[in-house]
């Protein structure tokens, strides 16, 4: 008997790093900049890659940068005004919320795949949850121990 294992990730590695960066920044004093290098070290990711991701978060007004001696990136608005969806879309776009579960081109109401009806309703629920969940909610849901184990952010 063959078993089909379906491994599906909602977001890319880049979006995971971006979400983790926002969480790390949320732990800092609001208005205090953190260097991309320090964030990259805390997230255990390549600094150049993280810098590219962080720049994608500036255009939608999630982050801003500060030059100078104490320069770096900082939150452009309070975490309660930043949804998880905002970050995912800034990094990955919104194709997850529009594409076929099976990746079939042209899947739709006229020629639906076997999962079309189910997936259409479920992805809208996921999208709504991501829009309704902000980083203040996420911060409340995590313990300090989890934060320290996952992000190694001490500076």
Give the pLDDT of the chain (155 residues) as one tens digit per residue: 445 444 456 788 999 999 989 988 988 777 789 999 999 998 889 999 999 999 999 999 999 998 988 889 999 999 999 999 999 999 999 888 888 878 888 888 788 988 888 888 898 999 999 999 999 988 777 766 666 666 655 44
pLDDT value, residue 29: 72
**Residue 99 lies inside a defined structural domain of this protein:** yes
pLDDT value, residue 7: 46
**Residue 42 lies inside a defined structural domain of this protein:** yes
Our CA angle for 126, 76, 141, nearest 5°, is: 45
**Residue 18 lies inside a defined structural domain of this protein:** yes
pLDDT value, residue 131: 96
**Residue 120 lies inside a defined structural domain of this protein:** yes
pLDDT value, residue 150: 62
Q: How far apart are CA 16 and CA 34, in angstroms?
A: 18
Report the 10 Å Cβ neighbour count for 125: 9
Task: State pTM to two decimals.
Answer: 0.82
What is the domain-level CATH number for residue 63?
1.10.10.10
Q: Is residue 130 a contact partner of residue 85, using CB atoms and an 8 Å limit?
A: yes
**Residue 104 lies inside a defined structural domain of this protein:** yes
Residue 118 sits in which domain range?
13-151
Q: How far apart are CA 96 and CA 148, in angstroms?
A: 30
**Residue 4 lies inside a defined structural domain of this protein:** no
**Residue 40 lies inside a defined structural domain of this protein:** yes
Q: What is the DSSP letter of 111?
A: S
The domain tally of the chain equals 1
**Residue 3 lies inside a defined structural domain of this protein:** no
Structure tokens at 103: 């990746």
């Amino acid at each position: 008997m063959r078993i089909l294992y379906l491994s599906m990730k909602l977001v890319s590695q880049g979006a995971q790093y971006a979400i983790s960066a926002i969480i790390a920044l949320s732990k800092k004093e609001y208005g205090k900049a953190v260097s991309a290098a320090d964030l990259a070290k805390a997230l255990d990711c390549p600094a150049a890659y993280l810098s590219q991701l962080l720049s994608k978060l500036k255009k939608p007004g999630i982050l801003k940068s500060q030059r100078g001696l104490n320069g770096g990136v900082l939150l452009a608005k309070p975490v309660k005004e930043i949804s998880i969806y905002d970050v995912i879309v800034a990094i990955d776009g919104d194709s997850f919320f529009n594409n076929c579960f099976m990746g079939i081109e042209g899947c739709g109401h006229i020629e639906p795949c076997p999962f079309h009806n189910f997936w259409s309703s479920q992805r809208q629920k996921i999208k709504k949850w991501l829009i309704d969940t902000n980083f203040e909610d996420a911060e409340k849901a995590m313990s300090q121990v989890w934060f320290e184990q996952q992000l190694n952010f001490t500076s």
